[in-house]
């Protein structure tokens, strides 16, 4: 199926971002294997941003295509969702490497990953998260993309708590209040994310 010329421009941009992200991901892996953890984290963050931009270009192509008789909307939506998920994974990898080295940057990475996963859920029009539990009386875990969003909010909340307490212990009460307020926001997002979950046991 032939795409609209304007749509093709966005698809070419998306392809470039995808290729650049793959190169950045390879760089991150090589740096990590050499023990250059912070440089690897930065490279994963670059890959995440490039995949996010790819998703934006896929979205633009999809919007243009939806107005054309040559629409290829379902395939473009799949490409957009895939780019968002890969971007989220890259941001998660960056967050893990930054944790305990630069927790403030790690929080940002967890937040950016969560934003991507929420965008996926919005595009998929997910209104209830699938869950499973070890038993009907035990704790449940959220699966799939919803579970990734929940996990990112939880990790960001924990780090923000630790950062806030550190500020407080150092006597920087203004930063402590601000950071703990951000922690509360992250926990509120976490609570909202799981508010529609109905645990289902698996046996």
Say if residue 82 is in the same domain as residue 155. Answer: no
42 occurs within a structural domain: yes
Q: What pLDDT is recorded for position 200?
A: 36
Mean pLDDT in consecutive groups of 10 residues from the start of the chain, 203 residues: 76 97 98 97 98 97 79 86 97 97 95 93 69 43 80 91 88 84 75 51 30
Q: What pLDDT is recorded for position 172?
A: 83
Say if residue 6 is in the same domain as residue 93. Answer: yes
Q: What pLDDT is recorded for position 132?
A: 47
Q: Supply the pTM of this predicted model.
A: 0.82
Rg of the chain, C-alpha, whole Å = 19
Q: What pLDDT is recorded for position 195?
A: 58
Q: What pLDDT is recorded for position 141?
A: 60
Work out the number of other CB atoms within 10 angstroms of the CB of residue 190.
20
Tally of domains within the chain: 2
Say if residue 6 is in the same domain as residue 45. Answer: yes
DSSP 3-state percent helix, strand, coil across the chain (nearest 5): 75, 5, 20
120 occurs within a structural domain: no
Say if residue 7 is in the same domain as residue 78. Answer: yes
Say if residue 85 is in the same domain as residue 161. Answer: no
Range of the domain at 11: 1-101
Say if residue 1 is in the same domain as residue 92. Answer: yes
Long-range contacts of 137-143 (CB under 8 A, 24+ apart): 140/197, 140/199, 140/200, 142/193, 142/194, 142/197
Say if residue 185 is in the same domain as residue 145. Answer: yes
What 3-state DSSP class applies to 48?
A: helix
162 occurs within a structural domain: yes
């Amino acid at each position: 199926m032939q795409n609209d010329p304007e749509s093709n421009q966005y698809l070419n941009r998306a392809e470039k971002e995808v290729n650049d992200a793959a190169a950045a991901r390879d760089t991150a892996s090589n740096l990590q294997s050499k023990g250059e953890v912070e440089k690897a984290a930065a490279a994963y963050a670059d890959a995440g941003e490039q995949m996010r931009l790819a998703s934006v270009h896929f979205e633009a192509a999809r919007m243009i295509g939806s107005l054309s008789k040559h629409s290829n909307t379902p395939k473009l939506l799949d490409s957009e969702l895939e780019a968002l998920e890969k971007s989220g994974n890259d941001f998660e990898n960056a967050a893990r490497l930054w944790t305990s080295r630069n927790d403030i940057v790690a929080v940002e990475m967890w937040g950016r990953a969560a934003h991507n996963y929420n965008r996926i859920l919005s595009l998929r029009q997910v209104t209830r998260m699938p869950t499973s539990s070890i038993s009907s009386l035990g704790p449940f875990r959220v699966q799939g993309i919803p579970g990734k969003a929940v996990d990112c909010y939880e990790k960001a909340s924990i780090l923000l708590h630790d950062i806030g307490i550190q500020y407080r212990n150092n006597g920087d009460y203004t930063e402590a209040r601000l950071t703990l307020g951000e922690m509360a926001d992250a926990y509120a997002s976490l609570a909202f994310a799981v508010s529609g979950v109905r645990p289902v046991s698996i046996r």
